[in-house]
């Protein structure tokens, strides 16, 4: 059995757009690049098991996205518009010395990488998406599906002023609850050193003295996607061009079907937008399937590689 690859971090990439991204890596630069892109409220460490595995065969890299942990954390909401976040990833790939790569992404990272693959297919050799809805499918569900609107109601709470202070209160009690759910016992993956690392990441100050969690919350504030508030009309998606959201790169979608915020109905009709797609369902998996079953996730990712 091959030994896990050594993970290196405290590495930084200065992008042409002025963003500074911290990242962790494993394996030798010059090998094929596999990029791991985290979601909210996580950071590069979400991918610790994947870096150790894929660093054996690839240059495996996991950045902290803009707004998270040790990367740039501008306070301005406008700095988190999707176009800027996608630009970060395109520039990051090039700064690492590559033109294209395999991308594995979860949650908000997946939202960005669906868009990246649609807009810059030449940069994506293969795409692996884990519990992250396709943007057009999600917009359609937020506009017309009452169950999805209810499941996504937390997004409107996160958009409100002061949500970051509320999540940080009582030693990040609410933020922890997002990761661990309502279970009476904390999941085995979120204990000890892992919990300490998350608390340290959540405590990193924002740029210009902004709150440590403002960057991550600004993803929700800057996004046009959210369920209608009580009394508001449903979002009008008629101005969206479905053809602009077609992803033509080979794609593997891994879906934990016990995700409470992103139900399995979000993969219905996905082949309309991703013609070269394989879907792997994990009925007992939650939104945090990467942590719950890392070896199974690794095997599935490996099966998608060229």
Catalytic residues: 107, 220, 287
Instruction: Determine if the peptide bond prior to 41 is cis (ω within 30°).
Output: yes
SS3 43: coil
Report d(CA 78, CA 25) in Å as an integer: 29
Report d(CA 216, CA 231) in Å as an integer: 27
The Cα angle at residue 281 between residues 275 and 284, in degrees rounded to 5: 160
Pairing, β 20-26 against β 59-63: antiparallel
Radius of gyration of the chain (CA): 18
Q: What share of the chain is helix, strand, coil (3-state, %, to 5)?
A: 45, 15, 40
Contact 152, 261 (CB under 8 A): yes
Contact 204, 70 (CB under 8 A): yes
Instruction: List the alpha helices (DSSP H) in 145-238.
Output: 146-151, 153-159, 163-180, 192-202, 214-222
């Amino acid at each position: 059995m091959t030994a896990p690859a050594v993970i290196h971090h405290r590495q930084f990439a200065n992008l042409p757009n002025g963003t500074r991204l911290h990242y962790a890596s494993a394996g030798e630069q010059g090998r094929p690049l596999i990029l791991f892109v985290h979601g909210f409220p996580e950071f590069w460490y979400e991918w610790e098991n994947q870096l150790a595995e894929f660093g054996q065969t690839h240059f495996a890299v996991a950045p902290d996205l803009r707004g998270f942990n040790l990367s740039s954390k501008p306070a301005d909401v406008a700095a988190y518009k999707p176009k800027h976040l996608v630009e970060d990833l395109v520039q990051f790939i090039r700064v690492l010395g590559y033109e294209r790569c395999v991308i594995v992404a979860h949650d908000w990272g997946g939202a960005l990488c669906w868009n990246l693959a649609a807009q810059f297919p030449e940069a994506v050799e293969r795409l692996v998406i884990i519990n992250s809805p396709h943007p057009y499918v999600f917009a359609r569900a937020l506009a017309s599906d009452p169950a999805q609107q209810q499941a996504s109601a937390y997004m409107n709470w996160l958009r409100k002023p002061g949500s970051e202070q509320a999540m940080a209160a009582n030693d990040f009690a609410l933020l922890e609850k997002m990761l661990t759910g309502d279970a009476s016992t904390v999941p085995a993956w979120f204990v000890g050193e892992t919990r300490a690392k998350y608390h340290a990441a959540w405590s990193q100050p924002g740029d210009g003295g902004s709150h440590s969690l403002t960057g991550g919350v600004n993803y929700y504030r800057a996004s046009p996607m959210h369920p209608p508030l009580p009394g508001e009309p449903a979002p009008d998606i008629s101005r969206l061009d479905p053809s602009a959201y077609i992803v033509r790169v080979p794609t593997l979608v891994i879906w934990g079907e016990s995700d409470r915020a992103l139900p399995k109905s979000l993969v219905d009709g996905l082949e309309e937008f991703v013609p070269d797609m394989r879907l792997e369902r994990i009925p007992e998996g939650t939104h945090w399937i990467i942590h719950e079953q890392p070896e199974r996730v690794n095997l599935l990712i490996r099966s998608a590689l060229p």
